[in-house]
Chain A
């Protein structure tokens, strides 16, 4: 059982380039999330999805787009990368429910923008 898998694990981009980060979960979870973590800080929510075909903005959505075409996958796109987007990106998933459910995180994608 792999849980939450993120690809790639590392990437270096030049300013202005575009790329897509892939998150896949095999737990049949309804909810999925993208966070970024900057040095010495906690995670901040970029976008999230409560089901296939739906997405919503989080705390820091500017400069990012997302898509959830399949339940098990959540894609994060950078259309024109900027140095301020250098960060570690984490994907997470959770079950739905009336009571709060734990989030399961992947091991992150380390992205550097030169």
Chain B
């Protein structure tokens, strides 16, 4: 059964980097890896996605292990507004189906 596992919760100090891990040991060679975050009473918000190589955008960086069995979302400088539940998601190409992990609740300390 396709499964992604994430730590239930993590804490970070404001303005420090945060590394959020995700294990997807059963991922196939063509599955995309997405990261979304969800604030209370809101829908998930896109953060970043990738396939094989590391990716960067204005919000974050995504580091994908060479064997693709794990990935790490990197927030370079955490702010209080980054406090949210972060979901690691697999998407098999052409299926339009997101398989959500259980999420990591990130707490940012001032």
Contacts and interface: CB of A to CB of B under 8 A. Distances in A.
A41 B102 contact: yes
B49 interface: yes
A105 B49 contact: no
A44 B100 contact: yes
A108 B34 contact: no
B103 A104 contact: no
Given A42-B102, A42-B103, A103 B46 contact: yes
B41 interface: yes
A26 interface: no
Contact of A107 (B32, B42, B89, B100): B42
A90 B44 contact: yes
B44 A43 contact: yes
B93 A40 contact: no
Contacts of A43: 44, 87, 98, 100
26 contacts: A4-B43, A31-B96, A40-B102, A41-B100, A42-B87, A42-B101, A42-B103, A45-B97, A50-B96, A58-B97, A90-B43, A90-B44, A100-B32, A100-B34, A100-B49, A100-B91, A100-B93, A102-B34, A102-B46, A102-B49, A105-B44, A106-B43, A107-B42, A107-B43, A108-B41, A108-B43
Interface of B: 32, 34, 41-46, 49, 51, 87, 89, 91, 93, 96-103
